[in-house]
Structure 1
């Protein structure tokens, strides 16, 4: 073999080794990729968990709501005894706080009396029973019932005779038998008789005479409930005697006793608030102010007209009122001291939002008479917890501890 042939053979051997090594590297690369793919296909669950974890955490955050939020349904609100008050602008120094009494307006109370002398033979209602307007409460046996009926019957007979006489005179006048003055006299007599009949019938209805003409019905002029009974079965009563007292529980007003210096700042139409015994408030307006002070209490009577008929108020009940003069200076929002809670060293109130309550930090000002002035953090018209805020604070602390 020549030198040239040996050199050519060596070059071919080196080329074959290079191709073999390249093929081996390619096979190793394919094997590595296949192992990765096989590994992924054999273990998909950890990858799925890692993708779903952020979504689960987001859902958990939505359930808990924002920081300081307490979810609460209307049923839980009533069960926990939480009262909500819609706030408005005012000044703690201008509020007129006074004691008051729930009373009945003139149209909300009636005194039922006997219309004639007689004996009580039937009582249809007891103390506390409901009664409708015009409903018969009792029956009174009276001789005057027969007198009313007899007078009505006599008036009816006179009216009938007068009508007949007037008709006869009309026929005679048409036949030119009698003069016009005779006809006019007959017509006047008929009109007088008919007026007497109307008076007698009105007396029978007013006295409450029953159909048989023996009893007088004692009727209630308004609807409501029997609040007082001053008679008993078989008692003989005189005309004008007080028998029953009827009150309409849905028709009430509030009479506040205001000192003279404070009353001089008030005028009809001023905004007022009545604090309910079980918590909460009801809005009202000043309806009238008495021109003179009471001789014993030295206070001026201020009548408040309530907005609607709230439950929990009864006639004769004592309440507390807060009246804001219309010409008072507005410096902030006034709330009860119980509405302010210390949370993480900050004064906080609970504002009602959709689905519950949100803790809102506020800046307070002056305090007076169990009231506190809110300078910043609230807006007029917001609904704020005025009673039961401590329970919400405790619930908020427990919820944060769990998280």
Structure 2
């Protein structure tokens, strides 16, 4: 083939390649863009999660081991609460002041401070001149009563035989009754003074169960009658005295619900027993007397605690109040863990406001429903662990 012919064919081929390239570019520019495939979002994935993933199965034993505290949600808003300091005191029947009922010398001390005692236990013994007098009066009264009874019996026998007149019988019977009355007085006096059966000492006796909290007696010391020697307190019989501002006291009533928070973080249910009818002129505060709903160990007279008092008549609609530690955040939502038969369920709630250690809820929970408070974060962690495993 000649050289001109080859050049012509090469030029024609180059033109065809260039035309094809131009046509492909135009087609790419004018073709419609394909629709993008929808990407799965984390929110969609969470929505698709099964409902049971929001529950944490847990037995009662596991709850105890985990030290998860459960308490009911309180009715009313934060404005219906009064948070104040309080002091644990002994109940009127839970504290006994022990004294000697006659002057004398302390000859024996049977109990030391901190030791447990039972009602009727002898704590100490006192001997003295008046102790001896009490014993002598009782013995003399017993002798007179015995003599008077015998004399009345003889007069009765003589009267029945017709030897003695009725006047002598009646006089003997009257003397016997007087002697019996004197004996009863002497026995009562000796008993009130706790005179020992041997008549040598009077006994200082505890009237209640408890522990010796104060000792002001010394062996061999001379004490006056009714001087305080010991104090015995029963830790199971305590009450709480809370100071409240005057405006809060005017709203409180006996029976209103309260909670007590101890230094170790325990929350104990209580209620208002009574309030002072007036306020202190210096502090402008009243005193509310609280009682625990259930006996609690570890509360001792003199211990300081925090009291939260709920005013029953001031309920903010359907709002409830829970401790701040009960509210957890999961996937951007606030929840509380509701106690169920099987364990706990994450219950979404709506927060209205916060105040200190309390949170007011405007939705998602009803008053009285039992929720996890202390260590509720363990349930959140367990729930997160379950979601990762799925």
Please indicate the TM-score interval, normalised by the length of the shorter structure. Answer: 0.7 to 0.9
Query: In the alignment, what sits opposite 1:388?
Result: 375
Q: Which has the larger radius of gyration?
A: 1
8 Å Cα contact 1:143/1:214 also seen in 2: no
Query: In the alignment, what sits opposite 1:158?
Result: 144
Query: In the alignment, what sits opposite 1:300?
Result: 286
**In 2: Cα distance, 1:232 partner to 1:89 partner:** 54
1:166-187 Cα deviation digits (max 9, x unpaired): 2233334334444444333322
Q: Secondary structure of 2:212's partner?
A: strand
Q: Secondary structure of 1:102's partner?
A: strand
For the aligned residues, what is the CA RMSD? 2.1
**In 2: Cα distance, 1:324 partner to 1:172 partner:** 81
Pick one of 121, 127, 130 that aligns with 1:144. 130
8 Å Cα contact 1:277/1:312 also seen in 2: no
Deviates more, 1:99-108 or 1:382-391: 382-391
- The number of residues matched between the two structures is 340
8 Å Cα contact 1:97/1:320 also seen in 2: yes
**In 2: Cα distance, 1:223 partner to 1:194 partner:** 36
CA displacement at 1:335 relative to structure 2: 0.3
* TM-score under structure 1 length normalisation: 0.79
Q: Secondary structure of 1:375's partner?
A: strand
**1:191 correspondence with 2:172:** no
**1:357 correspondence with 2:344:** yes
Q: Secondary structure of 1:77's partner?
A: helix
Query: In the alignment, what sits opposite 2:96?
Result: 110
Pick one of 159, 164, 169 that aligns with 1:173. 159
Query: In the alignment, what sits opposite 1:274?
Result: 260
Give matches, 1:130-141, under 5 Å.
130-141=116-127
Query: In the alignment, what sits opposite 1:86?
Result: 72
Query: In the alignment, what sits opposite 1:19?
Result: none
1:67-118 Cα deviation digits (max 9, x unpaired): 1222334444334332111124222211222211111111100001112222
Given the superposition, is the C-alpha separation of residues 190 and 330 from structure 1 closer, same or farther in structure 2, using an over 3 Å criterion?
Answer: farther
**In 1: Cα distance, 2:61 partner to 2:105 partner:** 54
Deviates more, 1:351-360 or 1:190-199: 351-360
Given the superposition, is the C-alpha separation of residues 65 and 178 from structure 1 closer, same or farther in structure 2, using an over 3 Å criterion?
Answer: farther
CA displacement at 1:197 relative to structure 2: 0.6
Query: In the alignment, what sits opposite 1:315?
Result: 301
Pick one of 202, 215, 221 that aligns with 1:235. 221
**In 2: Cα distance, 1:221 partner to 1:342 partner:** 54
**1:262 correspondence with 2:248:** yes
* TM-score under structure 2 length normalisation: 0.81
**In 1: Cα distance, 2:302 partner to 2:280 partner:** 18
Which blocks of at least 5 consecutive residues in structure 1 are unaligned? 1-63
